[in-house]
Chains A and B, each alone.
Chain A
Amino acid sequence: MKQRNTWQAPWSYREGWIITGGLAILGIVWQVFLPAFKAELPRWPGNLILGLFFTGIIVSLYWFFPKSSLVKWLSSVPAAVTSASFYCGLAILMGIIPQQQASPSALINLTGLNQLTISWIFALANLYFLSSLGLATLKRLIPFKKKNIGYILNHLGLWLALTTAALGSSDLQRLHMNCYEGQPEWRATNQQGQVVELPIAIELLDFKIEEYAPKLTLIDNQTGKIAVTDIKNPYFSITDTPFQLGDYTIEMELYLPQAGLIGDRFERVNEIGSPPAAKLIVTNTVNQQKSTGWVSSGSFRQQPYAFTLNERHSLVMLPPEAQKYQSDIRIITQEGQQLSTTLEVNKPFKLGGWKLYQLSYDSEKGKWSTLSVIELVRDPWIPAVYLGIFMLLAGSLFLFREGTTKRKKGENHGLD
């Protein structure tokens, strides 16, 4: 093949890398010298207009200048590879530099690499990537051929999902609402920390936690750290008794899910803030000595209670972990309508354009928490994003076929 000069058609990798580098420099310079002019997308309907404008440009380019070197190149593999590398490179930076927090390096703060998703360099990389993907899609979308269905599902699906996710990000609302039992609440906080008043009120009727049985572990009295370090998980559930931990065999004589310390032993009580406690029999397997004692995890009301085995080791009980937590809530609309539902992790509730999520609770109080934090999310673009995602899922099945049918020679469209 003859040596081709840079910028002489057909463009290839060299031009791709030059454009990538150019966009990277442009993005950085923009960020540093025009920090006030942020890489922010307008809200509805501005983002819709922008999206239609972008789509219009791509389609017109393809329609009116299909043979231009720009269109041919943007819809080629070298543009796909360089733009995907650009995107991938930025993602690597994002994966290494902690995001959304000031960096110790002034250079990183200045160039916006600690907030990459809202920086100009990321916006430009997106633009390049989506232009290339968009034109690559059109190349086999028009005229439509049945054998290109897999290709179209993958490329159009990805383009649709990424474009609408980017455009929709300015309409995304994520609010936190602190609901206390018995107090209707209509004020929530957005991600910038501003208070937002909602047209609905939420009243927490009851907050419930189901817990796993508490775990036991052995600690070193001197350091307070875990004593057995040669096994990966030195925690045993009390339901696992009897078990062996270090040089000790641990058996359980009595377990009280809610207990209070009376003198030097625990009794069953039924009060808010009474932690679990267990009476254990411990045998030292080196000298066969047996001893009996109590452990308790403690709570926001009571001190933890350790079982001191000897001058070196103590057994302690960890606070039980939550297995499931849920909020019974009542929702009251401005018109006075009421409805009740239960929120649970992984089981959000849909209401109008909003989705309600069980987010967290007062973890110090644990199962006695009267606070439930509910997240309210509104993301009007999600149907379009999901359409893209489902196209991609369907498209991924076509790759099965690609992978198992061996490509014939001569089917190579390449230049090499």
Chain B
Amino acid sequence: MAWINFEGYAAVTLLLWLTSGFVLLFGKNKIKSANKLASLLAGAGLACLLLFIILLWSKLERPPMRTLGETRLWYAFLLPLIGLVSFLQWKYRWLLGYSLFMGALFLGINYLHPETYSKSLMPALQSIWFIPHVIVYMFAYALLAASSLVAVKAMYQDYRGKNWQTLPALADNFVYLGFSFLTMGLLFGALWAKEAWGHYWTWDPKETWAFITWAAYLIYIHYRYKHLHKHKQAMGILIISFVLLLVCWFGVNYLPTAQNSVHTYSG
């Protein structure tokens, strides 16, 4: 069976997010109530999408975390969630706006490339580690994506000659949280690999790229710690790190090393 009427849920969510975006853009005169309305709309969109994910999960009888399309669905949910939480915390309107836009983009891609879902899950994936490993990784990726949004915004402000000196601190908050989840994801993966494949680390291409990504953010954290005022270089490292993360996420399938990987799934 296909998307359990994915189009319907996606349309409602997109509409809510779009309205929320409009309120963010134009509701400037009554900031307080506009912020409230935008948050409510964004939250309602999230609730709708979450409902869909839960339905899909129960329909598939397995966690919907296997194919790229399924993970895109999670990002469509997690990025706006992070945007909303940080909006409630720090009141960055542009951040909520961009994260809604990214979420909508992911939904749109899934809309244009509908997948039908396979219920089967190979035995190696049937493990108590599967859900924590993947959920933690998705949180990490979504948080690190949010930090890259901040970096891009910073670069853009810099290009326009505007002040952006407060943005790197925001990026740090996302990176620290994201790196924490990334570390957990990597280690859960290692513990799982020991149970499933007999060894915790084999430099499988996906593992190798996960390590590369991890090392890149490690470098960012240490660079920032030492050179708190070299903002430009730090934002550069952050963007390079995100490129490496993207290679790890879906570039691995296209590299010459891919056919040796135990991690290349369909999708």
Contacts and interface: CB of A to CB of B under 8 A. Distances in A.
Interface residues of B, number: 67
Nearest to B194: A382
A375 B67 CA distance: 29
Contact of A212 (B119, B195, B196, B208): B119
Interface string B212-223: 100110110011
B115 A98 contact: no
Interface in A321-337: 321-325
A96 B198 CA distance: 24
B212 A95 contact: yes
Contact of A414 (B124, B196, B228): B228
Interface stretch (B10-18, B19-27, B44-52, B170-178): B170-178
A406 interface: yes
A403 B227 contact: no
B120 interface: yes
Interface in A363-416: 375, 377, 379, 382, 385, 389, 392-393, 395-397, 399-400, 402-404, 406-407, 412-416
B184 A415 contact: no
A406 B195 CA distance: 39
A4 interface: no
Contact of B180 (A355, A375, A389, A399): A399
Interface of B: 1, 67, 69, 113-124, 126-127, 169, 172-177, 179-181, 183-184, 187, 190-191, 194-201, 203, 205, 208-209, 211-212, 215-216, 218-219, 222-223, 225-230, 244, 247, 252, 255-257, 260, 266-267
Contacts of B183: 392-393, 395-396, 399
Given A346-B127, A407-B169, A231 B116 contact: yes
B122 A99 contact: no
A376 to B, nearest CB: 9
Contacts of B200: 165, 382, 385, 389
14 contacts: A81-B219, A91-B208, A95-B209, A165-B201, A174-B198, A215-B118, A232-B115, A234-B116, A235-B118, A236-B116, A243-B1, A321-B120, A359-B198, A400-B177
Contacts, number: 176
Given A346-B127, A402-B176, A81 B223 contact: yes
A399 B116 contact: no
Given A95-B205, A96-B256, A233 B196 contact: no
A141 B230 CA distance: 28
Contacts of A414: 225-229
A412 B199 contact: no
B205 to A, nearest CB: 6
A379 B180 contact: no
A97 interface: yes
Nearest to B113: A232
Interface residues of A, number: 69
Interface of A: 76-78, 80-81, 84-85, 87-88, 91-92, 94-100, 117, 165, 172, 174, 212, 215, 231-237, 240, 243, 321-325, 344-348, 355, 357, 359, 375, 377, 379, 382, 385, 389, 392-393, 395-397, 399-400, 402-404, 406-407, 412-416
B267 to A, nearest CB: 7
A321 B122 contact: yes
Given A382-B200, A399-B179, 7 more contacts: A88-B216, A117-B203, A174-B199, A232-B69, A400-B176, A406-B169, A414-B228
Contacts of B117: 233
Nearest to B214: A88
A233 B203 contact: no
Contacts of A76: 226
Max chain B C-beta neighbours (<10 A), residue from A215, A235, A389, A396: A396
A233 B212 contact: no
Contact of B184 (A87, A385, A396, A403): A396
Contacts of A402: 176
A233 B266 contact: yes
